[in-house]
């Protein structure tokens, strides 16, 4: 269906897409999933991304009015419920309305300007503080906390009990369909105003200090292990064995391999001096994320507030 361009999309397309989107909402399919045989530990499901893109193609732009249900409690009497519909300027493809979350999932969406798009998975006990946004294709696992002004971009994978602090931006990617999305593994703490982009993988239990930016073009210096982590270029990944493993995992073997932050790493914003040319003459430095330690008991105590917030 994805490969065919149609002038009109009939009932068969709508029924197939509805079934596909239901599987996304329930977490039965996802844009990327763990794969121990992959060099990154994850594999891309390019067919899922194609299905999401097909939803945009067949969708019609429609008005999306908001319905409010106001519950008022006065004294010990029964609550008074008032329901009303308000005209708004919200318009989007009819295939991607606001997500409906079943009450039995025990998800908290605190009132105040948040939006969760249909076609994403929200696990049990997730907390959403306003305003925040979760885009289509995302997978947010059980017990995660998405704080105010945080973004979970399209197809991003957020692990169990992750805390995305206020202002954190988790980049999304739909195209190219073989590109790995941003992956934040279990128990990661993403500090305020952090940005994680371009298919970066943050290993389980890592801590990103406030203001840390991770992209595919920024090397990360590990002062503990005396190592430098970079997104591996397509040239370096050009061996037959390397290409074969990546293609098996659904990745585009021509694309750069993801920047990977080791599990338990504590990453802070840093800088490195420009060592040549005019930049050196001017005494300039470039932004550089730095791993200063790995999680220990002291780090765990500093992030233990998470349990109280949940």
Separation of alpha carbons 157 and 43, rounded Å: 12
Give 74's pLDDT tier (boundaries 50, 70, 90).
Answer: low
Q: Is residue 266 predicted with pLDDT exceeding 90?
A: yes
Nearest to 119 by CA among 3, 1, 31: 31
Separation of alpha carbons 234 and 206, rounded Å: 26
| 203: CB partners within 8 A, 6+ apart | 185, 188, 260, 261, 262, 263, 264, 265
- Mean pLDDT, the chain, rounded, equals 88
Contact status, residue 101 vs residue 122, Cβ threshold 8 Å: yes
Percent of the chain topping pLDDT 90: 70
**For range 283-300, the mean pLDDT:** 91
Q: State the maximum Cα–Cα separation within the chain, in Å, rounded to a whole number.
A: 76
For 191-234, what is each residue's pLDDT tens digit? 999 999 999 999 999 999 999 999 988 999 999 999 999 998 54
What is the pLDDT, as a whole number, of residue 238? Answer: 45
Nearest to 212 by CA among 296, 288, 298: 288
Q: Is residue 249 exposed (0-12), middle (13-18) or buried (19+ Cβ within 10 Å)?
A: buried
Q: Is residue 44 predicted with pLDDT exceeding 60?
A: yes
Separation of alpha carbons 80 and 189, rounded Å: 40
What is the pLDDT, as a whole number, of residue 235? Answer: 43
Q: Is residue 213 exposed (0-12), middle (13-18) or buried (19+ Cβ within 10 Å)?
A: middle
What is the pLDDT, as a whole number, of residue 309? Answer: 56
| 217: CB partners within 8 A, 6+ apart | 198, 231
Query: Containing H/E element for 268?
Result: strand 265-273
Give 250's pLDDT tier (boundaries 50, 70, 90).
Answer: low
Length, in residues, of the chain: 310
Enter the DSSP assignment of 179.
S
Separation of alpha carbons 270 and 208, rounded Å: 12
| 260: CB partners within 8 A, 6+ apart | 40, 200, 201, 203, 229
Contact status, residue 201 vs residue 214, Cβ threshold 8 Å: no
């Amino acid at each position: 269906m994805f490969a065919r361009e149609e002038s009109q999309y009939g009932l068969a397309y709508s029924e197939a897409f509805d079934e596909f989107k239901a599987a996304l909402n329930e977490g039965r399919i996802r844009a990327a999933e763990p794969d121990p045989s992959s060099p990154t530990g994850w594999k891309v499901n390019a067919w899922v991304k194609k299905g999401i893109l097909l939803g945009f193609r067949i969708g019609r732009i429609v008005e999306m009015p908001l319905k409010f249900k106001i519950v008022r409690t006065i004294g010990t009497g029964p609550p008074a419920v008032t329901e009303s519909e308000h005209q708004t300027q919200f318009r989007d493809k009819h295939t991607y309305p606001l997500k409906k979350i079943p009450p039995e999932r025990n998800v908290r969406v605190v009132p105040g300007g948040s939006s969760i798009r249909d076609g994403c998975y929200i696990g049990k006990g997730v907390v959403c503080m306003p305003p925040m946004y979760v885009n289509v294709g995302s997978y947010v696992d059980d017990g995660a906390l998405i704080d105010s002004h945080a973004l979970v971009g399209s197809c991003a994978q957020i692990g169990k009990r992750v805390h995305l602090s206020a202002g954190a931006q988790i980049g999304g990617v739909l195209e190219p369909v073989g590109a790995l999305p941003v992956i934040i593994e279990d128990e990661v703490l993403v500090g305020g105003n952090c940005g994680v982009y371009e298919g970066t993988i943050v290993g389980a239990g890592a801590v990103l200090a406030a203001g840390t930016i991770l992209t595919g073009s920024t090397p990360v210096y590990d002062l503990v292990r005396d190592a430098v982590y970079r997104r591996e270029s397509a040239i370096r990944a050009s061996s037959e064995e390397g290409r074969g493993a990546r293609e098996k995992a659904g990745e585009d073997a021509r694309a750069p391999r993801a920047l990977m932050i080791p599990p338990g790493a504590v990453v802070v914003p840093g800088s490195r001096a420009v060592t040549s040319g005019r930049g050196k003459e001017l005494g300039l430095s470039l932004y550089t994320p730095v791993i200063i330690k790995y999680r220990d008991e002291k780090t765990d105590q500093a992030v233990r507030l998470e349990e109280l917030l949940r």
